Amino acid sequence: MYLNLKQIKENLGVNSLLTNEGANPKVAKNEKLGVLGAVLHLAPHTLSGYQTCPMSSAGCRASCLMTAGNPAYLKNKTEARIKRTKAFFENREAFMNMLVLELAGHVASSKRQNYDPSIRLNGTSDIRWESVRFNLYQWVAERIKYSGNCQKVTVFDIFPDCQFYDYTKLHNRKKVPSNYHLTFSMNETNQKFAEKQPLNVAVVFAGKLPETYLGRSVIDGDEHDYRPADPSGIVVGLKAKGKGRVDDTGFVIQL
Ligand code: SF4
């Protein structure tokens, strides 16, 4: 058990877990909805030596957002994500307690600025966070003024007023907490699950977005990233970016 945040950081070898609000341009667009977002970026698929995207496909890996952004910073970003991912798998309890401290900081900072806080934990991974249970250190509970149960809790228990959301390719995440919104993410291998999804379905298109797809209305998912604000029963249309523009795997839909 670690006695303070400095000890945790030194032991994990990571300085921070969440990307600051506003640093991710698409998440920054959520501010117009009165929402301030923060994102956790881990290393996708098996890049760290640990599997974080069990239902990824060749197409989504090739177009993964992991490769988006300024190439000059990519090496440092990738190294930081690999370190975080190793910390998550190798020192789960310390990682989760550090995450709770950062989440509490994000919630407080959002409220100070009159925004609603939101969090994406799977910025570049696909982990079942609803199943990640850990023991909250007593000093962390005191610092964030949390007086609930500290044994085998999830982040959703600790921050019931914070809206979490993610995209997922795991088609069987049926029981998620009420403050965790999921959008199913279609790739070239999971279309049969997309067709019968109760969740909204995100689809990447090569050109102009169609009006309907899979028998559902298509909305422009690039206007903002705050998926909990979407109506139910729709397709979230995303335009191909970066390496997705040259996709030939079937991941990006060409109409
Ligand atoms: S599942 Fe998502 S995060 Fe994982 S490789 Fe595919 S696009 Fe990237």
Range(s) of the domain holding residue 169: 5-177
pLDDT digits (tens, 9 = 90+) for 115-157: 999 999 999 999 999 999 999 999 999 999 999 999 999 999 9
Atom of ligand 1 at shortest distance to CA of 57? 6
Residue 19 lies in a domain: yes
Listed residue (158, 177, 184, 193) closest to 236, CA to CA: 184
Mean of pLDDT values over 212-223: 96
Residue 135 lies in a domain: yes
* Cα 167 to middle of ligand 1, angstroms: 9
Residue 191 lies in a domain: no
Percent of the chain with pLDDT over 90: 81
Write out the two tokens for 26.
């698409």
Helix spans in the chain (H): 5-12, 25-28, 58-62, 71-90, 92-112, 138-143, 155-158, 191-195
pLDDT exceeds 70 at position 233: yes
Residue 217 lies in a domain: no
Give, for ligand 1, the residue of 55, 124, 127, 190 to mutate: max count of ligand atoms closer than 8 Å to Cβ.
Answer: 124
Listed residue (18, 140, 154, 13) closest to 87, CA to CA: 13
CA of residue 229 relative to chain centroid, distance: 16
* Cα 140 to middle of ligand 1, angstroms: 32
* pTM, entire model: 0.94
* Cα 31 to middle of ligand 1, angstroms: 25
Q: Is the CB of 43 under 6 A from ligand 1?
A: no
- Of the candidate ranges 87-91, 144-148, 200-204, 247-251, the one whose mean pLDDT is the lowest: 247-251
pLDDT band at residue 31 using 50, 70 and 90 as cut-offs:
confident
Residue 98 lies in a domain: yes
pLDDT digits (tens, 9 = 90+) for 57-116: 999 998 886 666 666 778 888 999 999 999 999 999 999 999 999 999 999 999 999 999
Number of independent structural domains in the chain: 1
Residue 186 lies in a domain: no
Q: Is the CB of 126 under 6 A from ligand 1?
A: yes
pLDDT, mean over the chain: 92
Q: Is the CB of 120 under 6 A from ligand 1?
A: no
